[in-house]
């Protein structure tokens, strides 16, 4: 079974440009989460999608947006890139209502965004 896949692995952009990151969840998972992992800041929650809808959003400006497609894959868009957006962006997927009662996340390997 394929895990959570993210693309691209690395992305280099300049200030003011837009970046698009993609995530394919594990087959059967309907929820997709996005996290930003900047150096020294741990994982900061960005967005949570399920069944095509945004379920929750972290404390990030509106230039961070995304969407989830009918096949449950997801896209994260970052507009008007700033230097501090340089980070590893992690995608994770899960069931919305897991049998176990605990929503265990399965993570992808991440997309490293560098803003110059």
Partner 1 sequence: AQTVTQSQPEMSVQEAETVTLSCTYDTSESNYYLFWYKQPPSRQMILVIRQEAYKQQNATENRFSVNFQKAAKSFSLKISDSQLGDTAMYFCAFMNRDDKIIFGKGTRLHILP
Site of interaction with partner 1 (CB under 8 A): 31, 33, 35, 40-43, 45, 48, 55-56, 58, 88, 90, 92, 96, 101-110
Which helix (DSSP H) or strand (DSSP E) does residue 114 occupy? strand 111-115
Nearest alpha-carbon partner for 89 in 61, 113, 55, 65: 113
Q: How far is the CB of 82 from partner 1 (least distance, A)?
A: 21
Nearest alpha-carbon partner for 81 in 32, 12, 30, 26: 12
Q: How far is the CB of 48 from partner 1 (least distance, A)?
A: 6
Nearer to partner 1, 7 or 58 (CB): 58
């Amino acid at each position: 079974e394929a895990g959570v896949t993210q693309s691209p692995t690395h992305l280099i952009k300049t200030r003011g440009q837009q970046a698009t990151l993609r995530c394919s969840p594990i087959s059967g998972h309907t929820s997709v989460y996005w996290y930003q992992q900047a150096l020294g800041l741990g994982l900061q929650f960005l967005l949570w999608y399920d069944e095509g809808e945004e379920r929750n959003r972290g404390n990030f400006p509106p230039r961070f947006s995304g969407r989830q497609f009918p096949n449950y894959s997801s896209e994260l868009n970052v507009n008007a890139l700033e230097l501090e957006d340089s980070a590893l962006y992690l995608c994770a997927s899960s069931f919305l209502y897991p049998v176990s009662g605990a929503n265990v996340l399965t993570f992808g390997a991440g997309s490293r965004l560098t803003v110059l």
